[in-house]
Amino acid sequence: MRSDRKRAIVVGASVSGLLIGRVLADYFDEVLLIDKESLDRGVEPRKAVPQGNHIHGILTPMVTALKWLLPGFVDDLVAAGANVFDSGAGTRFHIFGTQLRNGHTDQPLIGCTRPFFEHHLRQRVESLPNVQIRAGQRFERWVTSDDQARVVGLEMTGAAGTDKLAADLVVDARGRASALQKELPALGFDAARQEVIGIDLGYTSRLFEAPGFSPAWDLLIVNQSPPDVWINAVVQKVEGDRYIGTQVGYFGDHAPADDAGYMEFANRLPVQEFADFLQIAKPVTDYQRFGTRDCRMTRYEELDRFPANLLVVGDAVCNLNPVYGQGMTNAANEAVELHQSLAEHLGRNSSLDGFTDGFRKHLPSVGAEWAWQMTTAADLQFEQTVGDRSRSGRFMSWYMKRLFLRATKNLHARKGIFDATMLVKPPQSLTTPRMVLHALGL
Ligand SMILES: Cc1cc2nc3c(=O)[nH]c(=O)nc-3n(C[C@H](O)[C@H](O)[C@H](O)COP(=O)(O)OP(=O)(O)OC[C@H]3O[C@@H](n4cnc5c(N)ncnc54)[C@H](O)[C@@H]3O)c2cc1C
C-alpha cells in the first residue's frame, strides 16, 4: 500500500522543517529531520538561526495552524509562560506620527522568544513515534536516480563521517542558507529566477525586565513610515515576565550596540514611547545584532522541469523582510497546505507520482505571494530601496497612507490593515469597495 512512502527526509529542523516533519509523519512510515547544528542548546539562540536573538511575532493564522497540526500545543506554550493576547486590544501601533485605534479583534497573537518557541516545537515534534531528529548532520548533496529525473536520497556528514540515506520524499527547509539555486544546475536543471529587494536592514535587540511596569499593551510598534522614516522599534512581552526590545533601521542606518547610541537612535523615532521604555527597563542580555542586505523570492514555481520527489519550503523559497513578522506564519500555512494537498492527492492516486511538481507550482499562492507582494510594495515606497519599481506605484503609496491615517479613528480600516498584514486575508482585501470608502472617509 505505502511502498513509495517509507521514508521522508527534511533538511533543516527549524520552524519550517519541524512543521513539515509533523505533517509528513501522517503519511510516511518514517520521517527523518537532519540539521547541521547540535540542537542541544535548550532555549538559547543558536548560531545557524541568528534571528533567534530578535523579536518573533506569532500571527493569528499561525496560532490557528498550530492548534490544528498540534492539538494542545498552544496551551502547553502558554502553560510554559508564553503570552497570548488580542491583536487589536493588545497592540499599540504608531505610524505616520499617529496611533492606530485599539479595539478587540478575537485574533490572538503569541508573545514569546524565538528559542523558547522552537525548543517547545522541537520537543513536541520529536515526541511523535515515527519522527527522528538527527542533529549535527550537514547536508552534502542530493542523490538522484540514474536519469537524474528524481531525488532518491541524500548524503550528509556528521561527527561519525558521511552517510548516504535513501528517501521517497526529500524537503529542503534550509532557510536562507539553502543552496538549491546552485545545486539545480549541477543536477541538470535550470536555476530559478529570483526577485531581490535591497533594503540593507539591521536589527539591534536585547531582552529586558521591567518589574512593576504594567503597560496597556503587550506589543508596542513604532513603525517605519515611508518615505521619510526608515527606522522602527518594537517591544513585545514574552515568557518569564520579560520584554524583547528591538530597534531596526533600513539602508545601513542601524541602531548601535551601546547604551548611548541605542538611546540616541530611540530619540530619533517619531514617538517617545520606546525611549521611555528604555528608561525604565533593565536589560538582562547584551545587545545582539542581525543584518541582511536584501529579501528574496525564488521562483521555483516557474520552472518547467524540477527534480521529482523534492520539495522546497519556508525561507528557502521566500525570504521576506522580517520587520513584517510573517516568515513563521508563512511556514505554518505551507505545512497545513501540504497536509491537505497530500490527503487530496492520495485520495485520488495510489502513489506520490506527480505530487511534488503540482505542489511546487501551487506553493506561493498559499501565502508567500501575498506577503511578498505586500511587503515589497511597502518597502518600495522608500526611494532608497533597490528593486523592480513597476510593483510599487504612487497611487498605492498614497492610498495606503490614507488608509493608515483613517485607521487611527476607524476600526474597520484598522481591522482591514491588520487582517492583510497578518496574512488573515489577501492584500486585495485592502482595495475592496468597502475599504476604499473607509480610506476616503466616506
Ligand atoms: C531578524 C529576523 C526577525 C524575524 N522576525 C520574525 C517574526 O517576527 N515573525 C515571523 O513569523 N518570522 C520572523 N522571521 C522569519 C523566521 O525567522 C523564519 O521565517 C523562520 O525561522 C522559518 O524559517 P525556516 O525554518 O525556513 O529556516 P531557518 O529558521 O533559517 O532554519 C534553517 C535550518 O536549516 C538548517 N540548515 C541550514 N543549512 C543546512 C545544511 N546544509 N544541512 C543541515 N541543516 C542545515 C539550519 O541549522 C536551521 O536549523 C524573522 C527573521 C529574521 C531574520
Whether pLDDT at 442 is above 90? no
One domain for residues 269 and 343? no
Q: Copy the grid coordinates of residue 260.
A: 548611548
One domain for residues 268 and 399? no
Domain total for the chain? Answer: 3
Provide the edge-to-edge strand list for the sheet that holds 151-158: 138-144, 151-158, 161-166
One domain for residues 123 and 143? yes
How far away, in angstroms, is 177 Cα from ligand 1 center?
9
139 ligand 1 Cβ < 6 A: yes
Whether pLDDT at 390 is above 80? no
327 ligand 1 Cβ < 6 A: yes
pLDDT in the model for residue 427: 84
Cα 131 from chain centre: 23
Q: What percent of the chain clears pLDDT 70, i.e. is strictly above it?
A: 99
One domain for residues 335 and 359? yes
Whether pLDDT at 441 is above 90? no
pLDDT in the model for residue 2: 65
pLDDT in the model for residue 393: 60
225 Cβ neighbours under 8 A, 6+ residues apart: 95, 96, 97, 270
Q: What is the CATH number of the domain that holds 165?
A: 3.50.50.60
One domain for residues 56 and 145? yes
How far away, in angstroms, is 302 Cα from ligand 1 center?
24
The residue whose CB lies within 8 Å of the most ligand 1 atoms, and thus the one to mutate among 10, 41, 51, is 51
One domain for residues 40 and 129? yes
Asked if 17 and 35 count as a contact pair (C-beta separation under 8 A), the reply is yes
13 ligand 1 Cβ < 6 A: yes
Q: What is the DSSP track for 334-353?
A: HHHHHHHHHHHHHHH-SS-T
**Among 276, 293, 310, where does a domain finish?**
293
**Among 293, 313, 338, where does a domain finish?**
293
DSSP H or E stretch at residue 319: strand 318-319
pLDDT in the model for residue 338: 98
DSSP, res 202 = E
> Of 220-234, 351-365, 397-411, where does mean pLDDT reach its minimum?
397-411
Q: Does 377 reside within a domain?
A: no
One domain for residues 279 and 395? no
Q: Does 189 reside within a domain?
A: yes
Q: How far, in Å, CA of 313 to CA of 321, rounded?
A: 17
Q: Does 379 reside within a domain?
A: no
Query: Range of 260's domain?
Result: 91-110+196-293
pLDDT in the model for residue 97: 86
Asked if 145 and 4 count as a contact pair (C-beta separation under 8 A), the reply is no
233 ligand 1 Cβ < 6 A: no
One domain for residues 212 and 75? no
What is the per-residue pLDDT across 249-303, written as a single tens digit (0 to 9) for each? Answer: 999 999 999 999 999 999 999 999 999 999 999 999 999 999 999 999 999 999 9
> Of 151-160, 216-225, 301-310, 418-427, where does mean pLDDT reach its minimum?
418-427
As to burial, measured by CB atoms within 10 angstroms (0-12 exposed, 13-18 middle, 19+ buried), residue 136 is middle
One domain for residues 221 and 342? no
Q: Does 306 reside within a domain?
A: yes
**Which amino acid is present at 182?**
K
Report the atom number in ligand 1 closest to the C-alpha of 315: 26
Q: How far, in Å, CA of 246 to CA of 336, rounded?
A: 30
Q: How many CB atoms sit inside 10 A of residue 433's CB?
A: 7
Q: Copy the grid coordinates of residue 32.
A: 527523518
Q: Answer with the residue of higher pLDDT: 373 or 299.
A: 299
Model confidence at 3, in pLDDT bands (50, 70, 90)?
A: confident
One domain for residues 311 and 236? no
Q: How far, in Å, CA of 274 to CA of 272, rounded?
A: 6
Give the pLDDT mean for 28-55: 94
How far away, in angstroms, is 192 Cα from ligand 1 center?
21
**Among 293, 325, 347, where does a domain finish?**
293
Residue nearest to atom 47 of ligand 1 (CA): 48
Q: Does 355 reside within a domain?
A: yes
pLDDT in the model for residue 373: 87
254 ligand 1 Cβ < 6 A: no
Whether pLDDT at 1 is above 90? no
Give the pLDDT mean for 154-160: 97
Model confidence at 40, in pLDDT bands (50, 70, 90)?
A: confident
Using CA atoms in the order 269, 203, 62, 123, what is the torsion angle rounded to 10 degrees? -140
What average pLDDT is seen over the chain? 95
Q: Does 381 reside within a domain?
A: no
Whether pLDDT at 329 is above 80? yes
Q: Does 380 reside within a domain?
A: no
> Of 48-62, 89-103, 361-375, 380-394, where does mean pLDDT reach its minimum?
380-394
Q: What is the CATH number of the domain that holds 221?
A: 3.30.9.10
Asked if 253 and 224 count as a contact pair (C-beta separation under 8 A), the reply is no
pLDDT in the model for residue 397: 74
One domain for residues 166 and 40? yes
One domain for residues 184 and 310? yes
pLDDT in the model for residue 370: 87
Provide the edge-to-edge strand list for the sheet that holds 7-11: 131-135, 30-35, 7-11, 169-172, 310-312
Give the pLDDT mean for 197-203: 98
Q: Does 384 reside within a domain?
A: no
Place of cell 507582494: 373
Asked if 51 and 91 count as a contact pair (C-beta separation under 8 A), the reply is no
> Of 132-141, 248-257, 368-377, where does mean pLDDT reach its minimum?
368-377
Nearest to 16 by CA among 432, 386, 326: 326
Give the pLDDT mean for 34-59: 94
What is the per-residue pLDDT across 79-121, written as a single tens digit (0 to 9) for each? Answer: 999 999 999 999 999 998 889 988 888 899 999 999 999 999 9
